[in-house]
Amino acid sequence: MENGIKDHVFIVFALDHYNPLGVVRSLGEAGINPVLIAVKHKVDLTVKSKYVKECYKVKNVEEGFNILVKNFSSKYKYKPFVITCDDKTEGYLDEHYDELKDNFYFFNAGDKGQIAKYMDKKNILELAKKHGLKILNSIVVSRGEIPDSIGYPIITKSISPNSGKWKSDVHICFSEAELIKAYNGISSSIVLLQEYIEKKNELCLDGYSINAGEDMFISIASKYNYQIPGYYSPYMTVSNFDNPEMEIALKAMLKEIGFEGIFSIEFLIDNNDNYYFSEINFRNSTWSYASTYAGMSLPVLWAESTINKKIPEDVYKPIPNNFMAMVEPVDYMKRVNSKKIDLSQWISDFKKTECCFYYNENDLDPFREMLGNFEKLG
């Protein structure tokens, strides 16, 4: 019988960003000081957290993986937990599944390459459709290819989060000429062309699954307080998830994939309140720290549930109305710098926000680092 989670080493292995900062804080606030393997990014952010017990700053995922295996394999009585927060790191662990499975608890789908299979947007959209979820019309093409018949407007996306350059591969095209121009800025060799709709909002669901996807819990549902075409909104309202029909479909998808770990799932909402499945991120998401603020720490719950092989009966916590979360520097740039609102309104919103992703009065050094490198974080 395994001991409690505090008998295990926790390793946060991720691109240094406010996403792993939320994980480190979630663990630290539960009395667990994790090891951090931080891949260099724009700013040394998570490495500044007071909750980090031991830190390895690395140049790339490959270097971090070598440290993980060399320093933490077959060393402990109880297997360490590894938490990933970006697609490249998660994809690398998926590729090395066989080397890790006996020595670590990590996000996986039971076989090498199974996560990569469903990072592919075509595969995950087909799976969503199979389980009864609405999807937008899509076609997969080689970069530069113009389909014979396609309706505009469309949005371009790299086929996988690890095949291109994320948001820089996203273009909204209203004509063939705009699509041809967009191809010049797309890195992915395989491109998903998807029907583009004027979204009313988005729905982002954060949760975790265990037992090869047999058991699932979604802790928070986030909707954005304003919209940015082709981009996420850094200011959101967080609530409990309450859609039994959608929950059944998502649980069936995770079971078929065989996923164990923390996830986030995204939907687009059109002006008629139709929900269109977009993707599953098979790793901790940027919004998961809001779940910790709401009393449901996903890193802690995933670890406890993995050890006990069941989701706790008291896992659900009611979230109060008007629970707001904010990515402060990005929201400031998008609303104040762009003259959408004035500073006094932004300060009022900031003060009413329950969860800030940078500011934390008990862990101020990452926030100070953000302020000193503000323009790098937009």
- CA–CA separation, 22 vs 28, rounded Å? 10
Q: Which residues of 43-66 are buried (b: 16+ CB within 10 A; e: fewer)?
A: bebbbbbebbeebbebeebeebbe
Task: Enumerate domains of the chain plus CATH numbers.
Answer: 5-106 (3.40.50), 137-195 (3.30.1490.20), 201-377 (3.30.470.20)
Reported as a pLDDT band with limits 50, 70 and 90, residue 1 is: very low
Question: What does the pLDDT read at residue 230?
Answer: 66
pLDDT surpasses 90 at 377? no
pTM of the model: 0.94
Reported as a pLDDT band with limits 50, 70 and 90, residue 150 is: confident
Q: Which of 98-102, 181-185, 220-224 has the lowest mean pLDDT?
A: 181-185
The contacts of residue 27 (CB under 8 Å, 6+ apart) are: 10, 12, 33, 34, 51, 297, 299, 300
Reported as a pLDDT band with limits 50, 70 and 90, residue 57 is: very high
pLDDT per residue as tens digits for the range 288-347: 999 999 999 999 999 999 999 999 999 999 999 999 999 999 999 999 999 999 999 999
Question: What does the pLDDT read at residue 168?
Answer: 77
Give me the sheet containing 171-173, strands edge to edge.
138-142, 190-195, 154-158, 171-173
Mean pLDDT confidence for 341-360: 96
Whether 352 contacts 324, CB under 8 Å: yes
Reported as a pLDDT band with limits 50, 70 and 90, residue 251 is: very high
Write the Ramachandran bin of 291: left for phi over 0, alpha for psi from -120 to 50, otherwise beta. alpha
Question: What does the pLDDT read at residue 339?
Answer: 93
- CA–CA separation, 134 vs 104, rounded Å? 36
**Which of 197, 195, 245, 240 lies closest to 217 in space, CA to CA?**
240
Question: What does the pLDDT read at residue 232?
Answer: 79
Reported as a pLDDT band with limits 50, 70 and 90, residue 43 is: confident
pLDDT per residue as tens digits for the range 187-199: 889 999 999 998 9
pLDDT per residue as tens digits for the range 209-228: 999 999 999 999 999 999 88
Question: What does the pLDDT read at residue 361?
Answer: 96
Question: What does the pLDDT read at residue 164?
Answer: 67
pLDDT surpasses 60 at 119? yes
Mean pLDDT confidence for 92-119: 97
Question: What does the pLDDT read at residue 111?
Answer: 97
Give the rounded percent of residues in the chain with a pLDDT score beyond 90. Answer: 86
pLDDT per residue as tens digits for the range 73-97: 978 899 999 999 999 999 999 999 9
Q: How far is CA 158 from CA 100, 104, 189, in A?
A: 28, 31, 8
On average, the pLDDT of the chain sits at 94
pLDDT surpasses 60 at 26? yes
- CA–CA separation, 214 vs 90, rounded Å? 21
